[in-house]
Amino acid sequence: MNKKKRNLILYLFNSKYPNLKTELAFNSPFELLISVVLSAQSRDKVVNKSTAVLYKFANTPSKILKMGIYNLKKYIKNIGLYNNKAKNIIKISKILNAKYKGKIPNNRFDLENLPGVGRKTANVVLNNIFLKPTIAVDTHVFRVSNRTSFAVGKNVLDVENKLLKLVPLKFKSFLHNWFVFHGKKICRSKNPKCFICFINHLCEFKDKVV
């Protein structure tokens, strides 16, 4: 895909979703970090349903630790892989209290050294909380980028690096949320809704559903 097409796609997304934010519900950096950890291989709606109750009782590292892993599991038991996630959340809370006075570190190295926090999770936090020009690539961003030919890559890191080079700075903070939303609603893994897609005329997907 050429530069002209990419820029037009970005401007169309900006026009269509000017104020689009992550679907995960949060009111603090810590809440977002925990929600992203919980969202791995789980739906945002399921995570939001659990955290809506959890965060009323424990929404800081200290409160999570006071609650304990046994009670924590009760709140997140409907979320996939909740046992491992609960262990990681307890470990994260201990580290944040011990090393960062309960605050979330604002750099990739420290974030990725937290248990259960990978590159994608770190990118989401850096992008949404600290407004860093990063682009988190999950399954939706990976699919939309490759399917449309916006940024073709064999793995998520490859796609991320290409997006960072191809996307102008002013759009870097928005692209993840745009492509995630588009991937869930329109450019779905199965039965994509190409016939109502607003970038259909620019997309280079060979098997469009029309």
Which residues belong to the active site? Answer: 120, 138
b/e code 75-91 from CB counts within 10 Å (16+ = b):
bbeebeebeebbebbbe
What would the 3-class secondary structure string for 109-174 be?
Answer: HHHHCCCCCCHHHHHHHHHHCCCCCCCCCCHHHHHHHHHHCCCCCCCHHHHHHHHHHHCCHHHHHH
For residue 149, how many C-alpha atoms fall within 13 Å in the half-sphere facing its CB? 13
